[in-house]
Each structure stands twice: as structure tokens, then as C-alpha cells.
Amino acid sequence: MKGYVCKVCGFISINGSAPDNCPVCGAPKTSFQESDAIKEPADAANLSELEKKHIPTITIVKECGLIPNICTDAHVKVGEIQHPMQSDHSIQHIDYYINKEFVARVHLTPEKLNPAAALHIKSEATGELTAVSLCNLHGAWIKTQQL
């Protein structure tokens, strides 16, 4: 999948254009380059082992236990088969987008964290939630799901 990649921090714009400034690091639009930056499965019905370790899975929980009545939880786990989290092979971060607009990045420390993160999204948010995970060896992988 094509996207515009920030050459400073690796953020990928998935809405079809480069932003005026990177929402993660603030780099100017000139720091972005169009690229086939995001990997997608060749056959979604028949995933390879590599794809099963890298494609994010999204679970939407409509009733948040932390912020009741006004919050939807979005849990992202990288891989149907859990991705390793070692110093030489790990998920670096997970970026979240709502309707293809960036909303958050969660950085992951390899030896301390599992390849997963969660967001507390305001209940009135609608549309598509997209998660993009970045493996230091195998690149960026994407998954989209309805909120």
C-alpha cells in the first residue's frame, strides 16, 4: 500500500497526501516521500507465517471499564501468532488512525513490553480504525476495522 513516509521518524500518512508537518515529529512536508511503505497480505484468506506474526489484530470493546458510558476501547495486538519482542527483532511502535487521519502512536520497548497497545476513543467517534505496526526487520503492516 502506498503512503507518504516521514524520513525523520517513519510516520506514514495513509490519507493520500503528505501533511504540512509530521504529526509525530513536526518535520516539514519536504521530509515526506511517497513509498510502498505498508505491507498487506497477498491472500487474506491464506496468511503466511510471516503475515500471521506481523498483521495487527484489532478488538473493539464498546463498554470501557476505565471511562464508562463515553468511551470505546480499541485493543491492538501485533500478530495472530505473537510477534517476538527482543532487542534485535521487535515491534517498534503502533500508529492509530481514525478515518485515515493519525490520532496516536504507542512506542514499544522490546524487552519490557508485549507487542500490543490500547486506546480509549470517545464514543462519538465513528468510521474506520486503522492500526499500523512497525517491525524493525520486516517493515510496516496494516489492519483496518469499523469502530
The pLDDT tens digits of the residues spanning 99-144 come to 999 999 999 999 999 999 999 999 999 999 999 999 999 999 999 9
Report how far residue 14's alpha carbon sits from residue 1's, in angstroms, rounded to the nearest whole number. 9
Check if the beta carbon of residue 4 is closer than 8 Å to that of residue 100: no
pTM of the model: 0.93
pLDDT at 65 over 90: no
Give yes or no for residue 35 having a pLDDT over 90.
yes
Backbone angles phi, psi at 51, to 5 degrees: -65, -40
Percent of the chain at pLDDT > 90 equals 88
The pLDDT score that the predictor gives to residue 44 is 86
Which residues, including other chains, have CB under 8 Å from residue 30's CB and lie 6 or more apart?
none
Round to whole Å and give the CA distance between 109 and 117.
Answer: 12
Q: What is the CATH number of domain 42-146?
A: 2.60.40.730
Checking if the pLDDT of 42 tops 90, the result is no
Rg over CA atoms, the chain: 15
CATH placement of domain 1-36: 2.20.28.10
Q: Tell me, yes or no, if the two domains 1-36 and 42-146 fold the same way.
A: no
Q: Does 38 score more than 90 pLDDT?
A: yes
Each residue's pLDDT tens digit, 66-112: 998 899 999 999 999 999 999 999 999 999 999 999 999 999 999 99
Q: What residue spans define the domains of the chain?
A: 1-36, 42-146
Tell me how crowded residue 35 is: count the other CB atoms within 10 A of its CB: 14
Q: What residues does 106 pair with on adjacent strands?
A: 94
- Beta bridge partners, 116, equal 77
